[in-house]
Amino acid sequence: MVQAFRYNYSDTEVKKILATLMIIVDTREKENQHVTDYLDKKGVPYMKRTLKTGDYGCLIPKNEELGIMRDIQLTAAVERKAHIDEITGNLSKLKATAFENELIRASDIPFVLVCEDPDGYGKILRGEYRSQYDPKALLGRLKTFEARYGFSIVYLDKAYTGNYIYHHFYYAAMECVKKGLI
C-alpha cells in the first residue's frame, strides 16, 4: 500500500511561497493593459503562456529550498470579458459552441468569469445590450450554464480586474499550500 504524505509548511514558509506566486496570462488575451499595469505596479510577476482554459491562471515556481522541486500550476482559471455584449456575443449561434466547450473544459476546476461591467447584471435584467436575447432568456441561459458547469460570473469595474485576479489566485494558492497540496 502506498501512503501519501503531506508537508505542513510553517506560516513563514507559506508567506515565502506565496510571495513567489506568478500569474499566467494567456497568449491570446487581448486589451488587458489595465491588468498587467496592476500586476506591474504591485510587483506581481506574470508570464505569457498558452492556457487550455481561461485567460488567466497561476503557478508556484520551483523552490528547492522549500521542497518545491518544479513549477506547479494551480488548476484554476479566470476568464475575462470586457462587457456584457462580449458575453452575449459568445452566446450567438456562431460562437456558442466554442464558448460552451470552454465551460465544459473548465467544469472540473475552480473557474470564474469576470465581466468588466459593475452594472452587468442590471443590464441583463433591463435588456441593455446589443443582442436580441430576451432578458429573461439571457439570464436563464447564463444561470443554467453557471449551474451546469459549476462556475460563477463576477461583475466589476475594470479598474479592479487586476486586483481581483491576483487575490483570487493568491487565496486559492494559500489554501493549497496550507493543506499541503503543494
Q: What is the pLDDT of residues 104-122, one digit of tens each?
A: 888 888 899 999 999 999 9
Quote the CA–CA distance of 98 and 92 in Å, as a whole number: 10
Domain ranges, ordered by start, for the chain: 11-178
Q: What is the pLDDT of residues 133-182, one digit of tens each?
A: 899 999 999 999 999 999 999 999 999 999 999 999 999 999 989 887 77
CATH level 3 topology of 11-178:
Rossmann fold (3.40.50)
Mean of the per-residue pLDDT values of the chain: 91
Q: What is the pLDDT of residues 46-67, one digit of tens each?
A: 999 999 999 999 999 999 988 8
- State yes or no: pLDDT of 3 exceeds 60: no
Contact 73, 57 (CB under 8 A): yes
Contact 31, 82 (CB under 8 A): yes
Contact 78, 90 (CB under 8 A): no
Amino acid at 43: G
To the question of pTM greater than 0.85 for the whole model, the response is yes
Question: Other CB atoms closer than 10 Å to residue 113's CB: what's the count?
Answer: 25
Where does the pLDDT of residue 4 fall: very low under 50, low under 70, confident under 90, or very high at 90 and above?
low
